[in-house]
Amino acid sequence: MSQVAATLNNLAVLYGKRGKYKEAEPLCKRALVIREKVNIELYSLVVFNIARSLELYSTLCLWEQ
């Protein structure tokens, strides 16, 4: 999905360089929405993994290691 966002962004840059700003703007916005979604999903996975690690450390009393 991040490749789609990169492609949309690159196309928007190309349109912008040609002065086609009305065509570029929706592509930029769509790329941003995709990147935000991907980052939120990644962030959620990181938080989940940290929570699991904390549970393990708490169970094993390994806080000092």
What pLDDT, on a 0 to 100 scale, did the predictor assign at position 9? 92
Task: Tell me what pLDDT residue 47 has.
Answer: 87
Whether residue 50 lies inside any domain: the answer is: yes
Six-digit token string for 18: 């040609």
Residue 28 lies in domain: 2-60
- State the total domains in the chain: 1
Q: What is the pLDDT of residues 24-54, one digit of tens each?
A: 999 999 999 998 988 888 888 888 888 888 7
pLDDT value of position 63: 54
Full DSSP string of 36-60: HHHHHHHHHHHHHHHHHHHHHHHHH
Hey, what are 4's tokens?
Answer: 């789609």
Rounded Cα distance, 63 and 55, in Å: 10
Residue 44 domain flag: yes
Residue 65 falls inside a structural domain: no
The answer to whether the pTM exceeds 0.85 is no
Q: How far apart are CA 26 and CA 9, in angstroms?
A: 10
Sign of CA dihedral 22, 27, 29, 32: negative
Q: Is 19 within a domain?
A: yes
